[in-house]
Structure 1
Amino acid sequence: MPAQVSNGLIAALISVLLATFGAPIDGPWQGSVLGVGQASADDDDGDDSDDDDDSGSDPSDRTGPSAGNGGNPLTIFRRQAIRPQPRPVPQRQLPRHVPREIVALGLDKAAEDRLVAEGYEVRERVALATEGGAGLVRLGIPRGVSLEAARARAATLAQGAVVDMNHYYRPEQAGAEPCSEGLCLAREVVGWPPVETLADQCTVGGRIGLIDTAINGDHLAFAGGRVETIRIGQGNLPASGRQHGTAVAALLVGSRESRTPGLLPGSELIAVDAFHRGEGNDDRSAVYDLVRAIDILASRGVKVINMSLTGPANPLLERTVQRANQRDILMVAAAGNDGPRAAPLYPAAYDGVIAVTAIDRSKNAYRRAGSGAHIDIAAPGVQVWTAASVRGAQPRTGTSFAAPFVSAAAAILKASNPALTAGEIEEILQRNAEDLGAPGKDPVYGWGLLNGRAICQG
């Protein structure tokens, strides 16, 4: 008898038995029938309700790679209410900036007063430590005035100011790809020391900065850890999702006792949630908040900042990156998942930022990774095992999950020799990279694959 027919008859029989013994059978079912089922995992579709925890006490109640076939056959099904979730709007249809709003850095009071008199609205203002206390301001523009005209007017009134649209930046993630826990240990590709020997082989310590979405601080991945979260942004906006931020944070500093030990378990992480949930069910950070996040981390003495996010070029962001570089802060960013023919994305494409692309376990380039002369280095970014947003773990794919490998390596180098400058750390990473693709630096792999062995030995 064909397996499909057999499984169908068994499923029907179990349904009859459930009905006979009074078990409710109405509503959607999720789970597996005799080990053949569907994974119920936290993927990147914005749904937080179905995290794959693979960690329940009863193996028969699991789904996905670790699902078991034992136990009472009547408990093989797992019934869950499925709440309808809005699907994310495709990236190409999402807005690129806040409507009818500009941002200005270094706008003097006289120019600001003149703009207010002309009908502009000061929506928010903050002083930046990296700018010596100079102000960053959000301005709503009058009706009948275009964004281009508003930007030009503000720049004319204040010659030294940096003015642009309030562009959006978004996390760089792709759909989850299934694999077993053992096969998802992407760190082995770069020779990253096992958690058990990390402290013996590497100098671990110092602070790492993270700018990302919200983090689930109650996740077991952070039990006993040193994770500080800072929420910025407008209080009336919907909170960002926890999928992306939790996954990146756990990859960096996840507890060594958890199912998702981080690259640097026990290290201190200062995570700034600069995002909110947009109308397209996407997580987005306006450049106003992104600039503030970098400034906060710089003022806290952070020397390595991970930014697994991308967006368009913006002079305010470029200026902030330059100011961070002047403070000897090493900045690491995801190259983006728009494909090898896409235009460069930012902040990765700025000078002074290490642009990280992704490879798989066979050291092949991730098919959706960006490419170009700005690419600096490659790291694992396909099927990377890390924390899901509510509980448990799952594999993640995207340049977002390659960037933390480089941030962790930079943090080790800085902890090993605090006198190293950001430029010297970047040079060490480049010099020790495993050359892939065309000899020397190339637009696909940059200088090559991150070498974890050399980082810890050095």
Structure 2
Amino acid sequence: MPGTAPRWIRRWAIATTIILASPAMAQLLGGGGGRIGNAVGGLTSGLAGGLTGQGVGNGPLTRAIVTPLDNLGGMLSSTAPGDLLSLRRERLRALVQDNRRVLDADDAGAPIRRDEIVGLGLTPEALAKAKSAGFTLARTETVDNFGLTLSVLAPPKGKAARKAIEALRRLDPAGSYTLDYVYEPARAPLAPIAGPAVGGGDAGAGVAIGLIDGGIGNHPAFANAHIEQRGFAGDPKPSGHGTAVASLMVGDVGAFHGVLPGASLLAADVYGGSASNGSAVAIVRAMGWLAERRVRVVNISLVGPPNPLLEAGIKALQAKGILVVAAVGNDGPAAPPQYPASYPGVIAVTGVDAKGQALIEAGKPLHLDFAAPGADMVGAVPGGGWERVRGTSFAAPLVTASLARLGSVDRLAATARPGRGRIGRGIVCGDCGTAPQKVGAK
């Protein structure tokens, strides 16, 4: 049937969905040495045994075999872009279905927080109109440093938020209302990982980098790092995605070297170990904290649709002179442009392999600034060990750390070199990734 994904794509989608479809698996695992423990019940189930790298953890892979993602590029080379788009739709549908108590979907299938409509800077008159129409004010939040007041409204009983929002817009045409969209780590939802999170104290002195992602787990690569971690969806909980991204920026142990080991990293966990988190509200609250801490540049390897709240947060960071780097996503060029990478002024990053070829699965944003290594390299696994990583999620932090080190986009652009495919102004930090063989990863 036209538009139907090939059999291997469907099987791979089912397998990764069954075992949580998390970026820890969908982008982090790839060397064949990783295992997850007790993966049951869908996308948000916990991992009792933990994600493992080279001999770390003790849980067996219980329900499916995952295609090594570092080998995925060869298979994707013969796959039509529409097949990746179909896989994306299946993944998002599964995310919503497995989290029906807290998630819903908008009319385009994008995941949103159920029964939540966010009003930006609403007047007392607007709130009174909403209440008279059957809406309930669930809570009011003020985003520090941004001057943003958020009113979270619950729709009238029995009416979905995606439908009720139109009634609010008719009642208050001058107001700004949005659904609370859920953003994912550039391929799939996030699963928690057993073990403690790293950091939580003073980030130390020096160049300050901000990270909005899943939580960072303990690893020898962070022994001398200055990391402060704060949760915006409950307490920080380690994740494969956040740990790998952080290691590429500030990790340093043995043969593995991040781009800027001496930097301070302020990490905002917007998931708290649950794929149903990662909402626009949590992300913008995290942005406010990073602005307060005066970071120089913020890495966001998360993707999703545009919305006024996220855009307001991006503009507020930019108004304070803070640079934002974002991954373009890994759902192929047929997928819609992803945000925040597609917002004006955000530095949009794609990935390349060791030969300088743009990754076949890379998304197509409204603009593209740079490419960096996004394959044929390793990242840290919570608890210790390494795994091959692949995707634009892991190219973005190389650009972020390089930008923090060099101090300006122009200086970064001066280091860019040619590559193949759609790579923006060129490949930067081309030698930054650590090859698997250097750390004994298979």
Normalising to structure 1: TM-score of the pair? 0.67
Q: Equivalents in 2 of 1:431, 1:161: separation in Å?
A: 43
Match of 1:274 in 2: 270
Q: Cα 1:39–1:160, aligned 2, differ >3 Å: closer, same or farther?
A: same
Secondary structure of 1:390's aligned partner = coil
Aligned pair count reads: 344
| The structure with more radius of gyration | 1
Match of 2:232 in 1: 232
Q: Cα 1:373–1:109, aligned 2, differ >3 Å: closer, same or farther?
A: closer
Q: Show CA shifts across 1:410-434 (max 9, x none).
A: 10122xxxxxxxxxx2333334422
Match of 1:76 in 2: none
Q: Cα 1:169–1:245, aligned 2, differ >3 Å: closer, same or farther?
A: same
List aligned pairs for 1:110-121, cutoff 5 A: 110-121=125-136
Match of 1:74 in 2: none
List aligned pairs for 1:241-320, cutoff 5 A: 242-254=239-251, 256-258=252-254, 260-278=256-274, 282=275, 284-320=277-313
Match of 2:416 in 1: 433
Kindly state the Cα deviation for residue 372 of structure 1 after the two structures are TM-superposed.
4.6
Kindly state the Cα deviation for residue 265 of structure 1 after the two structures are TM-superposed.
0.7
Match of 1:207 in 2: 208
Secondary structure of 1:343's aligned partner = coil
Q: Return the match for 1:413 from 406, 409, 412.
A: 406
Secondary structure of 2:183's aligned partner = strand
Q: Equivalents in 1 of 2:356, 2:272: separation in Å?
A: 34
Q: Cα 1:308–1:372, aligned 2, differ >3 Å: closer, same or farther?
A: closer
Q: Equivalents in 2 of 1:113, 1:97: separation in Å?
A: 25
Q: Show CA shifts across 1:122-150 (max 9, x none).
A: 23322123432x31122211124443453
List aligned pairs for 1:341-380, cutoff 5 A: 341-380=334-373
List aligned pairs for 1:32-431, cutoff 5 A: 39-41=33-35, 47=47, 49=49, 51-54=51-54, 82=60, 84=62, 90-95=91-96, 96-132=111-147, 134-158=148-172, 160-173=174-187, 205-216=206-217, 218-233=218-233, 242-254=239-251, 256-258=252-254, 260-278=256-274, 282=275, 284-414=277-407, 425-431=408-414
Match of 1:448 in 2: 426
Q: Does the 8 A contact of 1:111 with 1:158 survive in 2?
A: yes
Code of the aligned partner of 1:90: R
Q: Does the 8 A contact of 2:36 with 2:61 survive in 1?
A: no
Kindly state the Cα deviation for residue 159 of structure 1 after the two structures are TM-superposed.
5.2
Q: Equivalents in 2 of 1:292, 1:85: separation in Å?
A: 37
Structure 2, unpaired ranges of 5+: 1-30, 67-89, 97-110, 190-204, 432-442
Kindly state the Cα deviation for residue 98 of structure 1 after the two structures are TM-superposed.
1.2
Q: Equivalents in 2 of 1:406, 1:233: separation in Å?
A: 27
Q: Cα 1:292–1:436, aligned 2, differ >3 Å: closer, same or farther?
A: same
Kindly state the Cα deviation for residue 224 of structure 1 after the two structures are TM-superposed.
2.9
Secondary structure of 2:184's aligned partner = strand
Q: Does the 8 A contact of 1:42 with 1:243 survive in 2?
A: no
Code of the aligned partner of 1:401: F
Secondary structure of 2:182's aligned partner = strand
Q: Show CA shifts across 1:200-232 (max 9, x none).
A: xxxx9410000001111x322211321000001
Kindly state the Cα deviation for residue 250 of structure 1 after the two structures are TM-superposed.
1.2
Code of the aligned partner of 1:135: T
Q: Show CA shifts across 1:31-67 (max 9, x none).
A: xxxxxx962456999857364443xxxxxxx69xxxx
Q: Does the 8 A contact of 2:305 with 2:338 survive in 1?
A: yes
Q: Equivalents in 2 of 1:91, 1:103: separation in Å?
A: 22
Sequence identity, in percent? 35
Q: Show CA shifts across 1:315-349 (max 9, x none).
A: 11112211211111100001100012221111001
Q: Show CA shifts across 1:148-170 (max 9, x none).
A: 45323434555554211111100
Q: Equivalents in 1 of 2:137, 2:65: separation in Å?
A: 34
Q: Does the 8 A contact of 1:339 with 1:370 survive in 2?
A: yes
Secondary structure of 2:129's aligned partner = helix
Kindly state the Cα deviation for residue 92 of structure 1 after the two structures are TM-superposed.
4.7
Q: Does the 8 A contact of 1:434 with 1:451 survive in 2?
A: no
Q: Equivalents in 1 of 2:170, 2:374: separation in Å?
A: 44
Q: Does the 8 A contact of 1:48 with 1:390 survive in 2?
A: no
Code of the aligned partner of 1:226: H
Computed over aligned residues only, the root mean square deviation of the Cα atoms, in angstroms, reads: 3.3
Q: Equivalents in 1 of 2:242, 2:381: separation in Å?
A: 10
Q: Show CA shifts across 1:160-194 (max 9, x none).
A: 5421111110012589xxxxxxxxxxxxxxxxxxx
Q: Does the 8 A contact of 1:51 with 1:392 survive in 2?
A: no
Q: Cα 1:341–1:146, aligned 2, differ >3 Å: closer, same or farther?
A: same
Q: Equivalents in 1 of 2:168, 2:329: separation in Å?
A: 32
Q: Cα 1:451–1:244, aligned 2, differ >3 Å: closer, same or farther?
A: closer
